[in-house]
Structure 1
Amino acid sequence: MKTYAMANKSQLAQEFMETGKLSSLPIIDMHTHMGPFYGTHLPEAELETMLQTMDRENIAWIISAPHSALFDPIGGNSEILEAMKRYPDRIYGYYVVNPHYDHDWERDLEAYDGVSGYVGFKFLPDYHKYPLDGEKYRKFYEFANDRGLLLLSHTWGHSPYNPPQMVEKLAKTYKNITFLLGHSAPGECDYAIEIARVLPNVYLELCDTHRLSGMVKKMVERASSEKVLFGTDFPWYDPHYCLGSILFSGIGDSDMRNIIHHNAMRLLPDKAKSTRGRKNSGA
């Protein structure tokens, strides 16, 4: 294994194979969840266990949308608010929008700017069976556009609810929003890559798509490494699984550093202050 890493000519891959982690480059995970999920067992779903994994694998901070926020209209975003309060500089959050439950929206938007840790919004159109360009989302697009926020949406190819074509249309309309294509639209990844290449406010995100052979290298070659973000769906995937698909993708170390660390720092400089203060920041 050590011989392979050296033949790959990647210092980062060699470091990982020799030590079992990337100590020189803190990882930033842009797509995570937390908490239990119905119908399955996720052994690392609890926040404290996730933090242990983050420490073990040198993950500086994550951005999360808890499962409870995705599907529980009563609990709403309370879990991420508590997590951000308990672990500032380690846990940041997306405000999750469920278009079928709008009773708290006005209150929450009024309070949004006063919440330390939010970076933007998370939409899940395929699961909520509501189109990404639906009217109920309009106030969130306008809010995010006014503030220059991130918007992470689940995307999937050939979906009636969140295909990459909808993102393309919205990104051209709301040019001050940074659109993150959650999963990068499997089934229409080539289309997703093209709009990320052309539109400055559209980014590819590796969650789940990293498992497709050759996909990381294709994204980098066509859209550049500056348009690809590290995301894992943690705790569904161990972050090291996604990391391996980058380290052994055949791209250069400078491209890897962009994906694993630098792009997130550039998009969220205020949230990255804690990372700059950590030993071996990889800058």
Structure 2
Amino acid sequence: MFDFNAKLGHWPYRPVRGFDELLRDMDQLGIAQAVVSSLDAVHFFNPQDGNGRLAELVAAHPDRLAPFAVLRPNFTDWEADLERCLDEYGIRGVVLYPNYHGYELTDERLGHLMGVAAQRGFPVCVQSGLEDPRRQYRPWRVDAVEPEAIGAFARAYPEVNVVALGLKFRQPELLGDPLPDNCFFDTSNYEAMGELETAVEQFPPEKILFGTNFPLFTPRANVDKLRLADIHATARTAIEEANARRLLAI
């Protein structure tokens, strides 16, 4: 299996599991590889500080962990941070948090990022939400990025693969009808049995990526949802790992 949505770092509102626990869960659950990004970077004033820590953590496991950078286009010299992430840290993609970092997906500064992504061929993810609003610490509650905005973002940059992370059941339908050719979504926020079957009925399996949202969600729950889903074997293989490998060209 290939987890397209895992994170490493601290969470301000509760203790979360870390690097060793991620590798242990991967071993126990049969997850061969994972995309990882910095959870620290969500709340650090400069996300690049989190990207640097992440690069150090994953350096010993390049065969298992594919690092993604967290960037914000409204921060000073973020373009230089992107180049450093690509050239020194070996990142394989980017994760955006417009809701946490205070910008819109229509921000013209994102044009530079998407131009580089198109040139170098890496995907750009947009995290819709990280936690159920009912679990958020109320003084710092953050609304999710609406799926309609993510779909419009994908349509604005058709040459870049855009992945919507953390959408709930029935939200991928709001990405666009039809779903943009360059738009994908993960399974991390699908909560109930039967939801994945519905997604496979409505969308090509090639559009769906397995994700756990480690450490904020429990990986076993997402693994079991996929393994127990009543879907065709070819669809299961695509979601489990083939789609992720295709997007990352590995």
> Aligned runs of 1:73-112 on 2, under 5 Å?
73-74=45-46, 75-103=49-77, 105-112=78-85
Name the counterpart of 1:132.
105
Give the equivalent residue in structure 1 for 2:9.
Answer: 35
What is the rounded CA distance, in whole Å, between the counterparts of 1:109 and 1:189 in structure 2? Answer: 29
Aligned pair partner of 2:164 in 178, 181, 190: 181
Structure 1 residue aligned with 2:139: none
Q: Distance in 2 between matches of 1:131 and 1:162?
A: 9
| Displacement of 1:145 | 2.0
- Deviation beyond 6 Å, 4+ runs, structure 1: none
Amino acid of the residue matched to residue 125 of structure 2? L
2:148 matched to which residue of 1?
Answer: 165
**Cα RMSD for the two superposed structures:** 2.3
| Equivalent in the alignment of 2:137 | none
- Of the candidates 100, 122, 143, which is equivalent to residue 116 of structure 2? 143
Q: TM-score, normalised by structure 2?
A: 0.84
Farther off after superposition, 128-137 or 216-225:
128-137
Of 169, 175, 194, 1:214 maps to 194
Counterparts of 1:238 and 1:92, CA distance in 2 = 20
Q: Contact conserved, 1:69 with 1:78, CA < 8 A, in 2?
A: no
Checking the alignment, whether the CA contact within 8 Å between 1:88 and 1:117 is kept in structure 2 is no
C-alpha distance in 2 between matches for 1:106 and 1:198: 30
In the alignment, does 2:224 pair up with 1:244? Answer: yes
Amino acid at match of 1:48: D
Whether the 8 Å CA contact 2:42–2:97 is kept in 1: the answer is yes
Would the aligned equivalents of 2:42 and 2:100 in 1 still touch at CA under 8 Å? no
Matches within 5 A, 1:182-201: 182-184=165-167, 188-192=171-175, 194-195=176-177, 198-201=179-182
CA distance in 2, matches of 1:212, 1:126: 26
Pair 1:248–1:77, CA change in 2 (3 A): same
Within the candidate set 27, 34, 41, 1:62 is matched to: 34
5+ residue gaps, structure 2? 130-141
Q: Deviation of residue 201 (structure 1)?
A: 0.8
Question: TM-score scaled to structure 1, two decimals?
Answer: 0.75
2:29 partner letter? E
Q: Percent identity?
A: 23
- The structure with more radius of gyration: 1
- Helix, strand or coil for the counterpart of 1:59? coil
Q: Letter of the 2:102 partner, please give it.
A: K
Deviation at 1:179, TM superposition (A): 0.6
Q: In the alignment, is the contact (CA less than 8 A) between 1:123 and 1:154 conserved in 2? A: yes
Q: CA shift at 1:213, angstroms?
A: 4.6
How far does residue 268 in structure 1 lie from its aligned partner after superposition? Answer: 1.7
Runs of at least 5 residues in structure 1 that lack an aligned partner in the other structure: 1-26, 271-283
User: Given residue 245 of structure 1, which amino acid in structure 2 is its aligned partner?
Assistant: K
Equivalent position amino acid for 2:24 in 1: Q
Residue deviations 1:200-258 (CA, integer Å, cap 9, x gap) = 210121111x2045321121111121110001111122322102112223212221111
Letter matched to residue 139 of structure 1: H
1:113 and 1:67 mapped to 2: Cα distance?
A: 19
In 2: Cα distance, 1:84 partner to 1:185 partner: 29
Q: Which amino acid aligns with 1:176?
A: E
* Contact 2:123–2:248 under 8 Å retained in 1: no
